[in-house]
Amino acid sequence: MNKKKTLCIVLLLVSFLLVHVQPVWAIGTVYVRSDGSIEGAGLKLEGGVYVFTGDIYGQIVIEKDGVIVDGSGYVLHGMSEGGIFLENRSGIVLRSLEVVDAPFGITLLGGRNNAISKSNCSIHLKDSFSNTVFGNERINLLFSNSSKNIVMENNLTDTFGYGFKLQSASNENSIFGNNITDSISGISFHGASNNNNIYENNIVGNADGLIFYNSYNNSIYDNVIAFNSNSGIFFRGSSENKFFRNDIVENSGPVICWYGTNIWDNGSVGNYWSDYNGTDNNLDGIGDEPHYILTLQFLTGEDYDTDNYPLMNWFIIPEFPSWTLLPILLITSLMIILAKKKIGG
């Protein structure tokens, strides 16, 4: 009799563990319908916020304006199909989301006045205007015909592609306060993406820092553009982009320009160039001689753009991402050791 009781207790305990310890997850597309109801498993409405109840394997489609979705520490697995999809939505807040195994973690199609924050995934804005992307970790961005958006205080990276690509007339976006690192291209402008403002960013340790293809009248100022392995700034068929008060430091090719003429000062202040060898006899912080930037023109061959007011010192004290400090310190230490050996010898 005692053995039977013991067996029953053991079976009850095993049943309890199977029910309560196994991970909670859901499969399939989850909808937030236009009336606010949820169709599918993996989300619940709690205090006015749609929160994950576990990992979701599938897609989330939001059909209602003005909702908040919070990942709650769980992961959306896109199953190689889709992540979170919004079409013609406004007033949506997406936060604390991690999306993996999806072409894009978040897609805004025709979206206005939405916000994405504290998330970790790839994000695509298409035909979308006046949205805000801020405070995200390890994201990469694609804007297609998307204008007047704000991109601020994000960490952008993509070892196999672009950190941030603007294409198809993505204009008048404000891009500031971001760390853009470890990407094939930090920020690239394609297809007449014009009149964007790019400022106060660290664009450090990419293959190419900034790339411009057939894009014009962008303003780039107060940035650190440093330690990029192919070029700091690359142009093809792009003109009238204005650069001033940038620190352009130790890029493998500081500027590579094919076909185009760009502007390298604001009429009184230019940029700091680590390869500038001029003097400053009046000690006003601006070089006495211009800094010349080689360009290659289609009809005339070699030519030069000019920074008329090159800075003698860094304009910004850079806040490099922590991973960049180690190689910089190692290189500096090695140079000191070699110098001491040379003096000793």
Of 23-37, 159-173, 206-220, 237-251, the range with the lowest mean pLDDT is: 23-37
Cα separation of 271 and 331, whole Å?
A: 24
> For the whole model, what pTM was predicted?
0.85
- Report pLDDT for 232: 97
Of 72-76, 155-159, 189-193, 329-333, the range with the lowest mean pLDDT is: 329-333
Q: Which two tokens stand for residue 314?
A: 């860094």
- Report pLDDT for 297: 81
What CA–CA distances, in Å, run from 217 to 240, 265, 267, 306? 5, 14, 16, 17
Q: Give the side-chain half-sphere CA count within 13 A for 294.
A: 6
At 58, which amino acid appears? G
Domain boundaries, the chain: 138-344
Cα separation of 273 and 292, whole Å?
A: 11
Residue 37, class by beta-carbon neighbours within 10 Å (0-12 exposed, 13-18 middle, 19+ buried)? Answer: exposed
The chain-wide mean pLDDT, for the chain, equals 88
At 2-49, the pLDDT tens digits run 555 554 554 454 444 444 444 457 789 999 999 999 999 999 999 999
Residue 327's SS3 state is: helix
At 258-307, the pLDDT tens digits run 989 999 999 999 999 999 999 999 999 999 999 999 998 866 678 899 99
Residue 179's SS3 state is: strand
- Report pLDDT for 19: 42
